[in-house]
Amino acid sequence: MICKQCGSELSERAKFCSVCGSAVEENDFERVDIFNFEHSSEEGKIEKDEAADVIADSLESEQDLESSDESFSNKNSEEICSEEKPKKRKGLLIAGLIIALAVLLILVVPRFLKRSKYKKAVQLMNNEQYAEAEELFSQLDFFEDAQERLDLCRKYLQYETAQRYLEDKNYEDAYNEFEALGEFKDAREQAEYCENVMDYNRAEELFKAEKYDEAKDLYTDLPSENFPEANERYHYCVNKINYRQADKDYKNKKYYNAYQAFTNLGSFEDAKARAEQCIQSFPVSGETYHNKDHQSKEVSLIIVPPSNDGNQNYIKIYTDKNLLISCITIKQGEQAKVFLAPGNYRIKTAYGPEKSWFGEKDMFGDKGIYWILRNASDNKDVFSLQSGGIYTLTLRSGEDVPGEKINSTKENRKNF
């Protein structure tokens, strides 16, 4: 027997298909064949016995009735199953559609919504509406390049904040914001500008407070293209510092150092007049110092410089052990006389033009000439003076004079 629903071969007595579960319907011709087969087998018996035929007819009627009831029952079962099967399939289809729709809602719809939000955020970003774009990108998590764009929006917002600080002249906060942005746009240059402005403002405060040393260090690093007056301020600070140092040297009687500093200041304030004040009056001819532990009149020494070379003269006499004994000043055209004890001495002489005397410490400064005298006979710088001797020392004579010839070599002013 063949199943009408799926075509599977079934046993003769099967009521339902073992493959698809459908009720099996018996065909009329199948029942007829069975009946005919049974009838033909009883035909001989009926001819022999008519009574048996009547009984057979009666039995056949009962069998037909039973067969009719059975056929009716099978048809009802088949109709019920055939009605239940479409309902079951329809339910499965609906369930599948619901699941598919749920998957669509879970997977596709959120991505569609994110895509829509992403496009809007990009548009806002392109329109430089960074705050609105930042808010949308922050909701997109790691959707495409949303995180990179989010970071970029935040940098733009931070840059705008820094610009507002700059416009409000809040340079410190502007500097901090620009510095935090690193290489973003021109943040590095803007941070440097803010730092320079803060340095300039600080330098101005120090300048007004006359703290020129500190102000100078700030002015010197400022670019002239943005702060053209900084260079002028810097030089003023330098001059003021030098002026103060010159004044300090003058008060400490370092007249030559003060003179040089005031001279280098040129026309700055009253520097020229202060430089003139550093030149000291040359003392009268004679001793300005004599060692009190070496007082004696056993030896007389007369010192005669040139009378017409326009120079003032300064002489120092030391023992051969470099102990200072006497300091002598001799004006141009004059001479001096000193008394010494017998002994061995070194003699140093210096000379310089008028109005170049800066005191016995600096003497003639770099304008002077400094010598140490030596015996021409042995080129030694030690002179032996005997008790009771009267000696004359002639300096820089252009003519031959009586006595032993004396040579000289240059001496460093600091060692004079």
- Residues 125, 151, single domain; the answer is yes
- Residues 220, 242, single domain; the answer is yes
CB of 20 closer than 8 Å to CB of 3: yes
CB of 177 closer than 8 Å to CB of 158: yes
pLDDT over 80 at 139, yes or no: yes
Encoded amino acid at 358, one letter: F
- Assign 140 a pLDDT band (cuts: 50, 70, 90): confident
**Domain final residue, candidates 246, 278, 310:** 278
- Residues 238, 183, single domain; the answer is yes
CB of 370 closer than 8 Å to CB of 416: yes
Return the SS3 of 168: coil
CB of 416 closer than 8 Å to CB of 348: yes
Q: Tens of pLDDT along 33-69?
A: 433 434 444 444 434 444 444 334 444 444 553 454 5
Residue among 328, 285, 335 at smallest CA distance from 305 = 335
- For residue 216, being part of any structural domain is answered with yes
**Domain final residue, candidates 251, 278, 305:** 278
What range does the domain containing 247 cover?
1-26+117-278
CATH number of the domain within which 316 lies: 2.60.40
- For residue 111, being part of any structural domain is answered with no
- Residues 149, 235, single domain; the answer is yes
| Amino acid 257: pLDDT | 97
Average pLDDT over residues 134-161: 92
- Residues 274, 292, single domain; the answer is no
- Residues 269, 294, single domain; the answer is no
Tell me the chain's radius of gyration from C-alpha atoms: 65
**Domain final residue, candidates 243, 278, 313:** 278
Q: Tens of pLDDT along 172-231?
A: 999 999 999 999 999 999 999 999 999 999 999 999 999 999 999 999 999 999 999 999
- For residue 161, being part of any structural domain is answered with yes
Overall domain count for the chain = 2
| Amino acid 43: pLDDT | 40
- For residue 107, being part of any structural domain is answered with no
- For residue 168, being part of any structural domain is answered with yes
- Residues 264, 333, single domain; the answer is no
- Residues 269, 350, single domain; the answer is no
- Residues 180, 237, single domain; the answer is yes
| Amino acid 17: pLDDT | 67
More confident residue, 98 or 24: 98
Distance separating alpha carbons of residues 350 and 356, to the nearest angstrom: 12
Return the SS3 of 140: coil
Encoded amino acid at 13, one letter: R
Q: Tens of pLDDT along 256-279?
A: 999 999 999 999 999 999 999 999
- Residues 303, 191, single domain; the answer is no
- Residues 130, 237, single domain; the answer is yes
Encoded amino acid at 196, one letter: N
Distance separating alpha carbons of residues 267 and 269, to the nearest angstrom: 6
